Structure 1
C-alpha cells in the first residue's frame, strides 16, 4: 500500500489535470463560436435565403395601399384639380415613354412642381410596380382586358383601353375632382394652366385648330383635356361613354368628333372649348413658337418606337432652346426637327381616308 502522503499528492495532481482539461475544452468551444461569428458576419443572412428568408426578396406590391379617394386627395391642388395619365407595361418599361414624359416636367418652365399633382393610373401590375418605383402617386385600375402589351392603333385591345379610360374619368368627376388628362406621349414644356379658358367645362387639344376656340370644325384630340367637375361635365362623360354603342368600332376620339355637334351637348348646357395648337401643339400641327408652347403631343404617329424617336428629338430641341440667350429666344430661331419617324400619311393609309381622326 502507498503511503498516505503519496495518495493525497496523486489526488491533487488528478484534480489539477481535470481542471486544465475543462478550461481547455471551454476555450476551444469559445474560439469555434468566435470563428463562426466572423464567418456569418462576412456572409450576411441574405446569402442564405433558403435558411434565412429576407424581406428584401418579397415581390413588389401589386395592390393599392390606399383607396382612389385618398390618392386623389393627396395629389390635388387647392381647387381639387389633379393631373391624370394612364400607363401600361409597354409604355412603362425603362427608357420608354413614361421616362420621357416625366423628364419633360423636370426640364419644363414651371412644370416640375406639377409632378406633385400627377396621378399615374396603371392598367396592369408591371406598370403599377414601375410607377411605384419612379413616382409618388400611383393607382392600379382593375381592368377586364389585358392591357400590358402595346395596344396597336384601332385594335380591339386599343379600343377597350380607350373606353375604359373614359369611364374611369367619369368616376373621377363624380368624386368632385377637376382633372387635366394627358397621354404619356405628351411633353409638358410650360405650365398650361394660365392658358386654359376660365369659362369652359370641357376644353380639349386639337389635331387641327381653325383659329376659333368654339368652332365645332376644330378636330379634337382626347389625349389632352381639362375638365371641371360639375353636373354638365358628368352628364357629358356619361353620354360620351354610352355613345360607343352608337358608333361601334370607333375609338373615343372619333366618337367625340361625332357627338360634339349633338343636340344633347346644348341641352345640358356644356361649355366646350378647343385649345389653340400654338400653345398645345402636336406632330399633326406643331406649335411653331417655342416661346408660347405649353405641350407637344406625339399624335399623328403609329408605333411606340416611332414615337420614342421623335419625342427624344423634341426634348433635345427644347433643351437647345433653353440654352439660348434671351435675345435669341425672342427671335424664335429654333423650331422642332420632328417629325422624322412619325408620318401622318401612314395614318391616312391605315384609315383609308383623311376625314377620320388620327391617333392620339
Structure 2
C-alpha cells in the first residue's frame, strides 16, 4: 500500500509535469515563430538588397556542387594554357567525336586555317570524358584533362535529348562552374564549332556572361534572345560563380530538360537581376551557325553546326564549310573585301 507521503509526492510530481508542459509549450511556439521570422527577414533582406554581395539565403541553398577545384592536375593544365588575363579556351571531347577524320580533327583544322586563330591553340584546354578520347588527344594537343564522370558512360555518340546527352550537358555546367571558382575566366566552345577568326574583339567589355544564339534578334541586351550553350565567354567573379551554381541546381526543378532550355527559364529570374549579372547575347553576324547563317565572310568569327542532329551530318557539312572557307582565303585581299560569297551549307544538316 502507498503511504500518504508517497501519494502526496506523486501528486506533486504530476502537477510539476503539468506545469513544465505548460511552460514548454509557449517556449516551443515562440521558438518556431522566431525561426520563421528570421527566415522571412533573410529572404526580404536578400531580395531587396543591391547585390554587391551575393544573396545570403540563396547561397545557403546553393551548396558547392563539385570538388574538382581542388585538383592540382587541373590547376596545372589551366595555368599552362592561360592567357595573361587568366582566360582559357575550353572544349569537351568524347570518343565518338575524337575518332580520326571526325569532329575533333575538323575542329583543330579550323584553328590552323582561320585568321589569327592558330596561336589560340596555345590556350585551348581539351576536357576528355573517357579514356579513349584522352589517349587520342595526347597525340594531338598538349593541354588536356580527363574529367571524372562519376560512373556515366560518355564514350559513344550521345544522341540529342537522351539521358546520356542531358547528363553530359549538366556535367559540363558543373565543371565550368568549378573553373570559375578556381579564378579562371573561359571561352567555352563546342567541338562542332569552326574558329575562322579570333573572336576576342567581338566580346563586350561589360558582359559577365556572354552567350551565342541559335537566333539573334538584333539586341544583345534582350533576354528574349534564344541562347545556345555551345559557345560562351564567362568572366570569373562572384556573380558568375553564383550564377553557375544556381543554373546547375535548377536542374532539379526542371528535370529532363536541356541545360540551355533551363537557362531560358531562369534567365529572367529576379535573383539574377538582383545580383546585377550582366548577360549579353552574341550577334550571329560574328558567331554564326546553321540555325541562322551569317552571310558576311569578312566578319564571321565562328560557325556552329547547330540545328543539326547526327554526327555524320555534322562531319559532312563542316568539311564542306571549310572547303568554302579555303576558297575564300585564296582570294586576293581586295577581292575578299568586294566579293560576297555564300556558304554551301547546311546540306545534310537541313
Q: TM-score, normalised by structure 2?
A: 0.79
Matched, 1:131 2:137: yes
Q: Render the CA deviation track for 1:131-157: whole Å, top value 9, x for unaligned.
A: 111001010000020000000000000
Deviation at 1:310, TM superposition (A): 0.5
Partner of 1:78: 84
Partner of 2:75: 69
Q: Residues of 1 paired with 2:139 and 2:212: CA distance?
A: 30
Q: Render the CA deviation track for 1:157-180: whole Å, top value 9, x for unaligned.
A: 000000000000000000000000
Unaligned runs of 5+ in 1: 1-64, 344-360
Matched, 1:121 2:144: no
Larger Rg: 1
Matched, 1:184 2:191: yes
Deviation at 1:66, TM superposition (A): 6.6
CA contact (8 A) 2:81 2:124 kept: yes
Deviation at 1:307, TM superposition (A): 0.2
Partner of 2:286: 279
Deviation larger for 329-338 or 154-163: 329-338
How many corresponding residue pairs?
279
Q: Render the CA deviation track for 1:246-283: whole Å, top value 9, x for unaligned.
A: 11110111111111111111011100000000000000
* Partner residue of 1:258 out of 265, 268, 279: 265
CA contact (8 A) 1:182 1:224 kept: yes
CA contact (8 A) 1:289 1:332 kept: no
CA contact (8 A) 2:127 2:145 kept: yes
Partner of 2:241: 234
Q: Residues of 2 paired with 1:80 and 1:332: CA distance?
A: 38
Deviation at 1:335, TM superposition (A): 1.2
Partner of 2:4: none
Q: Residues of 1 paired with 2:263 and 2:144: CA distance?
A: 28
CA contact (8 A) 2:96 2:157 kept: yes
Q: Residues of 1 paired with 2:267 and 2:283: CA distance?
A: 17
Q: Residues of 2 paired with 1:183 and 1:223: CA distance?
A: 5
Deviation at 1:334, TM superposition (A): 1.1
CA contact (8 A) 1:291 1:332 kept: no
Deviation larger for 179-188 or 251-260: 251-260
* Partner residue of 2:316 out of 296, 304, 309: 309
Matched, 1:335 2:348: no
Q: Residues of 2 paired with 1:224 and 1:168: CA distance?
A: 15
Partner of 1:102: 108
CA contact (8 A) 2:297 2:340 kept: no
Partner of 1:42: none
CA contact (8 A) 1:152 1:303 kept: yes
Partner of 2:161: 154
Matched, 1:89 2:57: no
Partner of 1:197: 204
Q: Residues of 2 paired with 1:280 and 1:107: CA distance?
A: 17
SS in 2 for 1:180: strand
- Report the RMSD for the aligned CA atoms in angstroms: 1.0
CA contact (8 A) 1:106 1:112 kept: yes
Q: Residues of 2 paired with 1:259 and 1:296: CA distance?
A: 26
SS in 1 for 2:135: helix
Partner of 1:164: 171
State the structure with bigger RCO (CA 8 A, min sep 6), 1 or 2.
2
